[in-house]
């Protein structure tokens, strides 16, 4: 322990973000740190983040989390991707599937070969070559050592926080109940020195993690880190959420259906369904949104709808002085591609890898902020893509189609339109297959593509597509029904 200056870590706020931070640091760095989490039972959490992406499994592997125990505790089901309905045009439907599409030669992605085959009348639908997509629509799922399925989960975010709390406390993290009423700073450096609770208790620390949600009690209200507003690109600013009974077989995918001023989600858990409507208040009132959500429900409601307000954007500094913002306090990208939990779990891993044991240094802070900035910008561009590429007629959608997008995204759109090329940047979350599925699904037609497929004869190329399709179809036919598999593999603790 010689030379260690930062040992006492104080996490302000619980919820999914706070307990992810506590679980990650306590499991990965253990006795090197003294971890305290402060949360108040009187302060609610957003708690509607019910869909994830496959990187959650990697985070769980780092923490040695048992999949079946996690699923039982959180009413979880499996997720193979997202269905997008009515996005480019009313009546359109496409699927962003996890995993790889087809089989790519080293020189070019599979979608280029598929474009060559389509041009020659030899390939089927792009969907035919995705195992995850076909399994999702068939309502199938299976875990087997010879089946390389890419998947994530749907789960109850509130129960997930409670589950992570149990792991954190078992690993030595301490929880203090109370409301933070003031923040003390070093008068010379501005570093946070302690937090005072309503009870009068003072909690001192060396490093503070702000998980206080949108209000950013430490990072913004105290340190004034600043906020970069992205609402000119992503103007939705409201979500109304409600839980309904689960009357239909549980399907292994999220549904995202566009409407005149945004979109609505449907997320199936074992014991209920999460439903919500994302919208822009400049185009749709709260009352109209509530009515639109109610009329879209196909099962009886279990809860009263609640409206959540947000502003898309990011803190100008994720790490400022001795405070790191995680979760909603660091920024927010609307939940279209389920990136929020991924981003703050990445923050936990970045902190664990770059922990300032010997004191907070500018070089380390700048490196962390640079990593976080790039990862968030990649995710932001991917979500904006869904809005920019549309041919709908409502004012909200026409304005999105006409808007100027970040140069980084416009360059990708131009590249795909002209050459069919897609790339995945260093450290970028979304793969080449993800970008290709959304671009094609949003009706962006490339004018050209890599001609590697042109090296094959008609019969050779047709044989490639036929073989891939048969393999996918055969595999799906032999998988178990998702609903039955979940009930056998990890039945909900709620019954």
pLDDT of residue 383: 98
Residues 27-38: tens digit of each pLDDT: 999 999 999 999
> Averaged over 354-371, what is the pLDDT?
96
Paired tokens of 166: 């149990």
User: ∠121-123-127 over CA atoms, to 5°?
Assistant: 140
Q: Could you list the beta-strand ranges (E) of 132-282.
A: 140-141, 152-154, 174-177, 180-185, 192-197, 202-204, 207-210, 227-229, 238-244, 254-259, 262-268, 273-279
Q: How many of the other CB atoms lie within 10 Å of CB of 1?
A: 7
Helix axis angle for 362-388 and 407-419, nearest 10°, is 50
pTM of this prediction? 0.96
> Averaged over 292-298, what is the pLDDT?
95
Give the C-alpha separation, 253 to 82, whole Å: 6
Give the C-alpha separation, 162 to 159, whole Å: 5
CATH topology of domain 8-50+156-232+315-359: FAD/NAD(P)-binding domain (3.50.50)
User: ∠167-173-175 over CA atoms, to 5°?
Assistant: 100
pLDDT of residue 42: 72
Within the chain, which residue ranges are assigned CATH 3.50.50.60? 8-50+156-232+315-359
The dihedral over CA atoms of 462, 121, 386, 394, expressed in degrees to the nearest 10, equals -150
Per the listing, tokens 């089901």 go with 77
pLDDT band, residue 3 (cuts 50/70/90) = confident
- Closest of 247, 240, 239 to residue 298, by C-alpha: 247
From first CA to last CA, the distance across the chain in angstroms is 47
User: ∠209-239-392 over CA atoms, to 5°?
Assistant: 125
Give the C-alpha separation, 262 to 253, whole Å: 20
Q: How many of the other CB atoms lie within 10 Å of CB of 437?
A: 26
- Rg of the chain taking only CA atoms, in angstroms: 23
Quick check: 337 and 53 in contact, CB under 8 A? yes
Per the listing, tokens 């307990």 go with 19
Residues that are catalytic: 79
> Averaged over 8-14, what is the pLDDT?
97
Q: How far is CA 83 from CA 133, 142, 396, 433, 447, in A?
A: 9, 20, 21, 15, 26
**455, HSE (Cβ side, Cα atoms, 13 Å):** 8
- Closest of 97, 11, 64, 40 to residue 344, by C-alpha: 11
3-state class (DSSP) for residue 10: strand
> Averaged over 438-451, what is the pLDDT?
97
Q: Could you list the beta-strand ranges (E) of 269-397.
A: 273-279, 306-309, 313-315, 319-320, 323-325, 331-332
Per the listing, tokens 């108040």 go with 40
Residue 297, pLDDT above cutoff 90: yes
Give the C-alpha separation, 393 to 399, whole Å: 10
- Closest of 418, 409, 333 to residue 376, by C-alpha: 333
Quick check: 255 and 83 in contact, CB under 8 A? yes
What sign does the dihedral 466-468-473-475 (CA atoms) show?
Answer: positive
pLDDT band, residue 363 (cuts 50/70/90) = very high
Average pLDDT, the chain: 95
Residue 1, pLDDT above cutoff 50: no
pLDDT of residue 103: 95
Counting DSSP H helices and E strands in the chain, the numbers are 14, 23
- Please enumerate in sequence order all residues whose Cβ is within 8 A of that of 182, keeping only pairs 6 or more positions apart, or say none: 195, 196
Which residue blocks in 220-361 are alpha helix, DSSP H?
286-296, 340-353
- Please enumerate in sequence order all residues whose Cβ is within 8 A of that of 405, keeping only pairs 6 or more positions apart, or say none: 233, 381, 384, 388, 413
> Averaged over 211-230, what is the pLDDT?
96
Residue 235, pLDDT above cutoff 80: yes
Give the C-alpha separation, 438 to 256, whole Å: 13
What are the residues facing 177 on neighbouring strands? 39
pLDDT band, residue 45 (cuts 50/70/90) = low
> Averaged over 163-169, what is the pLDDT?
97
**486 compared with 44, residue with greater pLDDT:** 486
Residue 494, pLDDT above cutoff 90: no
Quick check: 217 and 182 in contact, CB under 8 A? no
Residues 117-158: tens digit of each pLDDT: 999 999 999 999 999 999 999 999 999 988 999 999 999 999
Residues 236-254: tens digit of each pLDDT: 999 999 999 999 899 999 9
């Amino acid at each position: 322990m010689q030379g260690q200056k930062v040992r006492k870590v104080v996490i302000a706020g619980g919820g999914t973000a706070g307990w992810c931070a506590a679980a990650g640091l306590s499991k990965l760095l253990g006795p090197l740190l003294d971890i305290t989490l402060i949360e108040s039972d009187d302060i609610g959490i957003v708690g509607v983040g019910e869909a994830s992406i496959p990187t959650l499994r990697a985070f769980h592997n780092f923490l040695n989390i048992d999949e079946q125990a996690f699923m039982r505790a959180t009413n979880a089901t499996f997720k193979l991707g997202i269905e997008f309905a009515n996005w480019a045009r009313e009546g359109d439907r496409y699927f962003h599937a996890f995993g790889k599409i087809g089989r790519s030669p080293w020189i070019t992605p599979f979608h280029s070969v598929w474009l060559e085959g389509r041009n020659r009348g030899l390939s089927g639908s792009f969907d035919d070559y995705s195992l995850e997509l076909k399994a999702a629509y068939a309502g199938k799922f299976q875990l087997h050592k010879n089946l390389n399925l890419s998947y994530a989960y749907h789960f109850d975010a509130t129960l997930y926080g409670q589950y992570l709390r149990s792991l954190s406390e078992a690993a030595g993290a301490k929880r203090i109940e109370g409301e933070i009423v003031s923040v003390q700073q070093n008068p010379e450096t501005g570093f946070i020195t302690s937090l005072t609770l309503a009870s009068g208790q003072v909690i001192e620390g060396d490093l503070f993690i702000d998980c206080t949600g949108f209000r950013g009690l430490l990072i913004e209200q105290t340190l004034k880190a600043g906020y970069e507003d992205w609402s000119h690109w992503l103007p939705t600013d409201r979500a109304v959420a409600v839980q309904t009974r689960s009357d239909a077989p549980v399907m292994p995918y999220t549904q995202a259906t566009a409407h005149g001023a945004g979109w609505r989600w449907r997320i199936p858990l074992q014991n209920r369904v999460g439903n919500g409507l994302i919208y822009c208040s400049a185009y749709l009132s709260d009352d109209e949104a509530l009515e639109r959500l109610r009329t879209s429900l196909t099962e009886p409601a279990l809860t009263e709808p609640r409206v959540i307000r947000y502003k898309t954007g990011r803190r100008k500094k994720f790490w400022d002085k001795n405070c790191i913002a995680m979760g909603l306090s660091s920024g927010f990208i609307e939940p279209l591609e389920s990136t929020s939990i991924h981003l703050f779990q990445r923050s936990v891993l970045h902190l664990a890898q770059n922990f300032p044991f010997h004191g907070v240094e500018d070089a380390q802070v700048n490196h962390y902020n640079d990593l976080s900035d790039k990862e968030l910008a990649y995710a932001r561009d991917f979500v904006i893509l869904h809005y920019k590429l549309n041919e709908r007629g409502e004012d909200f959608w026409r304005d999105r189609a006409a808007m100027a997008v970040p140069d980084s995204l416009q360059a990708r759109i131009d590249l795909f339109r002209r050459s069919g090329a897609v790339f995945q940047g260093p450290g970028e979350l979304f793969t080449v297959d993800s970008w290709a599925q959304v671009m094609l699904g949003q009706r962006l037609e490339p004018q050209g593509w890599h001609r590697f497929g042109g090296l094959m004869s008609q019969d050779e190329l047709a044989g490639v597509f036929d073989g891939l399709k048969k393999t996918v179809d055969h595999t799906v036919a032999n998988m178990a029904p998702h609903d039955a598999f979940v009930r056998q593999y990890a039945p909900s603790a709620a019954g």
